[in-house]
Amino acid sequence: MKMRVLTVMVGLGAGCGEAAVTGLPEELAAAPPTLTPQVSGTTSRLQAIAPVDERVVWVSGLGGSILRTTDGGATWERRGIPGTETLGFRDIHAVDADTATVMTNNGGPNARIYQTTDGGLTWTLQFQSPLAVVFYDCFAFFDPQRAIAVPDAENGRFDVLRMTDGHTWVDIGDQFPAGQPGEGLFPASGTCVSTFGERSAWAVTGGAAQARVIATTDGGDSWTAHDIPMGGTATSGGISILFRDRRHGILGGGELAAPTVQQLNFARSTDGGATWSLATPAPFPGPVYGLAYARDRADDAADSDDDAGLGRRRVVATGPGGAAWSSDEGDTWQNLPAAVTGYFAAAFADRRTGWLVGTGGRILRVDF
């Protein structure tokens, strides 16, 4: 979905505010994170993050922006693609310091997917839309060879793409439910589609009379739609979705047209996305654009479906109106400083180290 969002760039103030949590295990009752602004070298809005580990991170955004760090963000290098300076790269996926994939949703033949295997020195065009009108909003990878990319619905059809060989993207829109009038996805943070394990994926929509989560458990062969308790207007719905195992997931979103109003912007599922319940809202005004679990990659591989996995429930939420973190998957929230506004996306390399990116080319390292 084409986004038109006005945000105000605010400098980062000193201090992290109070965030005491009592009655929790020591790890979960930790002090607020340390926030370190980093110099990106661009003033373009950044919207997606792909950490590989605590040192290697890729970032993408508007104005053809593609950046990479190999030293934890102390320095960021431009890794853009010649001829794409007017395009917005709304999502990025990284395997290592050499291999990354980016996607633009500028529409029609400017809806493209590129991959590099040499650290961004050269890029290969993997996909260019043959359609005159199509906007790919997010993609998500099961593994380096297999991925899903989802666009807005056009004329009632989602032209969903699937890759199964590491380089060829094939339209599987016939397996996807029909689109409602106005239905699409919000390319705010690269997290409107997510995967878990080898076969489970979820896409969250908005812009229609009923916002939905559309899910697969067989790698994209079939998909099922489930209603969610937010949205219902052309400018609202789900925006960000993540799962920590095949059953437990979180969803952020809200109404873009009410950026100064506290909203019911956060929901959870305990049954693989079939049903969703509103939970304690993230405490900043406006919608949630990006969610991130602060967790180790080993947690993803474990797939324990563990209700008691408290150590894996630290969540960070962000949006134009602010940012906050939770040590209990959204039962309670603690605001980050008031100056932390205008950040679109969050992502973590492990349970301690992550980044926020947003307007004005700003990058903020977050260390718990």
Alpha carbon separation from 184 to 78, 91, 239, 355 (Å, rounded): 31, 16, 10, 27
pLDDT at 50 over 50: yes
Q: How far apart are CA 45 and CA 78, in angstroms?
A: 14
- What's the domain count of the chain? 1
Of the candidates 297, 347, 273, the residue with the CA atom closest to the CA atom of residue 317:
347
Q: How far apart are CA 348 and CA 356, in angstroms?
A: 9
**Cut 0.95: pTM above it:** no
Alpha carbon separation from 218 to 4, 18, 139, 143 (Å, rounded): 34, 44, 17, 14
Beta strand 343-348 pairing with 353-358: antiparallel
Q: Within a domain: residue 29? A: no
Measured from the Cβ of residue 318, the count of other Cβ atoms closer than 10 Å reads: 33
Would you place residue 5 in the very low, low, confident or very high pLDDT band (cuts 50, 70, 90)?
very low
pLDDT number for residue 1: 67
What whole-number percentage of the chain has pLDDT above 70?
Answer: 88
User: Range of 360's domain?
Assistant: 34-367
pLDDT number for residue 296: 80
Residue 327 contacts residue 24 (beta carbons within 8 Å): yes
Mean per-residue pLDDT of the chain? 91
CATH of the domain at 118: 2.130.10.10
Amino acid at 38: Q
Q: How far apart are CA 250 and CA 113, in angstroms?
A: 27
Q: Within a domain: residue 12? A: no
pLDDT at 164 over 50: yes
Q: Within a domain: residue 46? A: yes
Q: Within a domain: residue 18? A: no
Alpha carbon separation from 296 to 29, 52, 345, 349, 352 (Å, rounded): 18, 11, 18, 7, 9
Q: Within a domain: residue 9? A: no
Q: Within a domain: residue 176? A: yes
Of the candidates 113, 108, 150, 158, the residue with the CA atom closest to the CA atom of residue 131:
108
Q: Within a domain: residue 6? A: no
pLDDT at 7 over 90: no
Measured from the Cβ of residue 160, the count of other Cβ atoms closer than 10 Å reads: 25
pLDDT number for residue 180: 98
Convert the pLDDT of each residue in 305-348 to its tens digit. Answer: 554 444 568 999 999 999 999 999 999 999 999 999 999 999 99
Q: Within a domain: residue 306? A: yes
Name the least confident of 3-7, 102-106, 198-202, 210-214.
3-7
